Structure formats: structure tokens, C-alpha cells
Amino acid sequence: MKQVKIFAGSASRSLAESIAAAYGTSLGDLTVQRFADNEMGPSFNESVRGCEVFLVQSTFPPAEHLMELMLMVDACKRASAYKVNIVMPYMGYARQDRKDKPRVSIGAKVVANIIQSVGTDRLMTCDLHAGQIQGFFDIPVDHLDGATVLAPYIKSLNLENLIFASPDVGGVVRTRAFAKKFGAEIVVCDKMRIRANEIASMQVIGDVKGMDVVFVDDMVDTAGTICKAADLVMERGANSVRAVITHPLLSGPAHDRIRASQLTELITTDTIPQREHNDKIHVISLAPLFAAAIRNVVTHESISSLFV
């Protein structure tokens, strides 16, 4: 069996340390050198020749995180690593997965091309914005399910009148899959946007009176949608409202909106490190799941068995 080495990019060091610890090892020694103009150059301070290397880095903004990761892959390939695997808990630009209007880019495909162009052997990620993004790659993609660690927490709450809700029509499939684990029903919030991150109107499709509502989504950015939806279901007679998401982008006014909303709590993971503390946010680590997936990749065992 090839020696396994796990390295962390600067965006995901804390999560990478937890993954390495759960795997039973420590992080490899990596230095990111900086020039006076802030241009970077990753340098591995130990041999990776013949090793199975796993590079952990989420690619949330700025795009420099993606560039750093690509340079890390290139350095490994040039140092004769046996295989270079990317562990990307959150894939940036994944929301741009199609042409939804004329003359726009498909950012997810551009990122896929970049990842493959530097010689990446495998991609491991979690809860892509759209599952079909896996088809943008010509290398193996291990698409982990965040519900594996999030669902047990919801079960531990022992909510009596549990119902799941999608904050928009596009998230119905994801919400139904989550609700299926509990044998629960779902409702849908139908929203109309003026532009990105700005909602004109919203309505609830389904009855939430007296119910403990749990919204399910892959990410929260400015928290405008989830907070408006939470307030709306409470107006419609819900007993309580929570949200469970995988990727806590939480940009701009997100924290203030969550604090001011009627959300009891926002349950999320550590794919993106938090910039500030928020008493309403409960973080569950994905490190054990990623560590188990890495172990199964190395030993050629099933990945889907971890979450199916």
C-alpha cells in the first residue's frame, strides 16, 4: 500500500487537521511562500515521491484559494507523487452550472477544466450545488452527502411534529431526500427574485401550522432567503423553525440577519471556517466522514457505503 500524506491549504487548515487526526496521522509539512506583491508559491518540505497525496482546500472566495490549490497539485506532480487527490469540502463557482441567460459563463465547468488541467487524479467533495456537476469532470469524483452527519443531530432533537421545507423550488429534490430519512413530509417556499441575493416575494406551498419546520439547503450566502422563509412559516403558525445546511458562506449581513430572524438555530458544517461567533449557529464537523472516505479510497473500498 502506498504511503498516504495529507496536506492543508491555507483556507482549510483547521478542517484538514481534524481530518488528519480522524485518519490517524498528522498534516504534512507545507510552506506557502509570498512575494512582496503577495504572489504565492507553495513548497512541500518533505518528500511525496511515490505517495498517495490528499490536498485539503475549500475554494470559497477569494479565487486565490483555488490558485493556491492548483499550485499545490502542480508541485506534487513535479515531485513524483503517485497520485494527487483533491479534498475540496466546498467547491467555489459551483452555482454557475448552466447558461440561465445569454452571454454568461459556466463557472463550474471552467473550474472543472482547471482542476483536471494540472493533473489531478481524483476529486472528493461534499454537497455540490447541483449533482450533475460531477459530469463536468473526466476523473473520479467522490460526492459525499453532508446529511450523513447532519441528520443524526436533527434526530437527537426529538421534534414531535417534524416537517421539512425547501427554501425554493430548486431545492425540492435535496429536501425530499433529507426528509426520506425521517419518513416526513415536505413543504416548499416559492420565491421570486429581482436579482441575485434580492427577493421580491415569497409564499409557502403546504401547511406548517403547529409543525416543527426544518429548512434544508446546500448553502447560505447572505441569509436573505432562509431568514425570510423562517419568518414566513412562523407567521403561518409553525411551532418552531430551524435550518440545516452544509456550506456556511454567511457573507455580508448574514450573521445579523440570522440573529434577528425567528430561526431557533442554523445547523451547519465546517466546510468553510466561520468569520465570527454566532450563538444561533451550531457547527458539526465533516472530518470523520472525509477521513473515512480517504481511508476507503486508499483501501479500494466503497465510498457510497459511508452515506447510503
pLDDT of res. 190: 85
What confidence category does residue 169 fall into, taking pLDDT thresholds of 50, 70 and 90? confident
φ, ψ of residue 304 to 5 degrees: the values are -65, -25
Q: 148-183 burial by CB neighbour count: b if 16+ within 10 A, else e?
A: bbbbeebeeeebeebbbbbbbeebeebbbebbeeee
What confidence category does residue 1 fall into, taking pLDDT thresholds of 50, 70 and 90? confident
Residues noted as catalytic: 191
Computed from CA positions of residues 157, 163, 166, 167, in that sequence, does the dihedral angle turn out positive or negative?
Answer: negative
pLDDT of res. 259: 97
**Which residues lie across from 216 on neighbouring strands?**
244
Q: Kind of pairing, strands 266-269 and 122-126?
A: unpaired
pLDDT of res. 193: 60
* Percent of the chain residues topping a pLDDT of 90: 90
pLDDT surpasses 80 at 63: yes
User: Is there a contact between 90 and 42 (Cβ–Cβ < 8 Å)?
Assistant: no
- Average pLDDT score over the chain: 94
pLDDT in tens, 253-263: 999 999 999 99
Per CATH, 4-146+287-306 and 147-284 having the same topology is answered yes
What confidence category does residue 170 fall into, taking pLDDT thresholds of 50, 70 and 90? confident
pLDDT of res. 273: 96
User: In this structure, what C-alpha cell is assigned to residue 6?
Assistant: 495529507
- For the chain, the farthest-separated pair of C-alpha atoms sits apart, in whole angstroms, at 61
pLDDT of res. 199: 54
Taking the domains of the chain in order of start, what are their residue ranges?
A: 4-146+287-306, 147-284
Query: Quick one: average pLDDT of 50-70?
Result: 97
pLDDT of res. 306: 92
pLDDT of res. 307: 84
Query: Quick one: average pLDDT of 110-135?
Result: 97
Query: Quick one: average pLDDT of 87-104?
Result: 95
Angle, alpha carbons 106-110-111 (nearest 5°): 120
What confidence category does residue 200 fall into, taking pLDDT thresholds of 50, 70 and 90? low
* Percent of the chain residues topping a pLDDT of 70: 97
pLDDT of res. 197: 54
pLDDT in tens, 112-121: 999 999 999 9
What confidence category does residue 126 fall into, taking pLDDT thresholds of 50, 70 and 90? very high
User: Is there a contact between 93 and 111 (Cβ–Cβ < 8 Å)?
Assistant: yes
Instruction: Indicate the pTM of the whole model.
Output: 0.93
Q: At what angle do helices 287-298 and 147-156 cross, to 10 degrees?
A: 140
CA-based nearest residue to 219, from 288, 285, 282, 146:
146
DSSP-derived letter for residue 28 is: -
pLDDT of res. 198: 58
Q: Kind of pairing, strands 40-44 and 30-34?
A: antiparallel
CA-based nearest residue to 161, from 212, 207, 208, 206:
212
On whether the 4-146+287-306 domain is CATH 3.40.50.2020, my answer is yes
What confidence category does residue 13 fall into, taking pLDDT thresholds of 50, 70 and 90? very high
- CATH code of 147-284, in short, is 3.40.50.2020
